[in-house]
């Protein structure tokens, strides 16, 4: 019976390697998004002397938004792999630029990134407010505020959980 238990545990622990398929998929998605970014950048560069100030601001916000989304993908890939699959063993691989991201910290960073992305989208909408009906502007704002509240609540919950951890687990 003990050998069956050991086999089941090994199967369950080995299943984490299935996540690698998702991370490789994210790498490919990031590559496609980089191509999309290049096309956007090329369009902005072509129209740099044609765009008026508000169009240029909107174009720059679009590029910033793309950079934030790409950063979010990288953060999820690296910290997800480190937390759920395996540590980076290569001595030349330094992921300290992410800081120490456990699952709770990762959730907060993802939520913060979503709020930042949502903020940029909302700013783009407000810069074109004359193209939107008032009720749509209200709903965009409410949805953004829902993201903000969710991120704040995740932060509060993480702080409560960190306070409740014994000192030995914090070291």
Q: What is the pTM of this model?
A: 0.73
Q: Across residues 114-130, what is the average pLDDT?
A: 89
Q: Which residue has the higher pLDDT, 97 or 164?
A: 164
Q: Which of 113, 111, 109, 104 is nearest to 83 (CA)?
A: 104
Question: Are 56 and 48 within 8 A, CB to CB?
Answer: yes
Q: How far apart are CA 8 and CA 31, in angstroms?
A: 37
- Where is 152: in which H helix or E strand? helix 134-164
**Residue 163 scores a pLDDT above 90:** no
Provide CB contacts within 8 A for 162, sequence distance 6+.
Answer: 104, 170
CA atoms within 13 A on the CB side of 23: 18
Q: Which of 80, 50, 56, 65 is nearest to 117 (CA)?
A: 65
Give the pLDDT confidence of 20-68 residue by residue, as tens digits. 999 999 999 999 999 999 999 999 999 999 998 888 998 999 999 999 9
Q: Which residue has the higher pLDDT, 171 or 94?
A: 94
Sign of the C-alpha dihedral, residues 5, 11, 76, 153?
A: negative
């Amino acid at each position: 019976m003990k050998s069956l238990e050991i086999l089941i545990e090994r199967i369950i622990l080995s299943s984490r390697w299935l996540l690698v398929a998702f991370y490789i998929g994210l790498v490919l998605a990031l590559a496609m998004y980089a191509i999309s970014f290049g096309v956007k950048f090329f369009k902005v560069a072509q129209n740099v002397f044609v765009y008026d100030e508000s169009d240029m601001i909107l174009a720059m916000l679009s590029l910033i938004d793309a950079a934030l989304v790409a950063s979010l993908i990288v953060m999820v890939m690296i910290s997800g792999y480190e937390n759920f699959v395996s540590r980076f063993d290569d001595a030349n691989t330094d992921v300290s630029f992410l800081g120490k991201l456990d699952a709770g910290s990762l959730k907060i960073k993802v939520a913060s990134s979503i709020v930042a992305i949502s903020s940029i989208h909302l700013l783009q909408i407000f810069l074109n407010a004359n193209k939107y009906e008032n009720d749509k502007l209200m709903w965009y704002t409410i949805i953004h505020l829902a993201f903000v509240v969710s991120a704040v609540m995740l932060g509060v919950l993480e702080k409560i959980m960190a306070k409740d951890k014994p000192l030995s687990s914090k070291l």
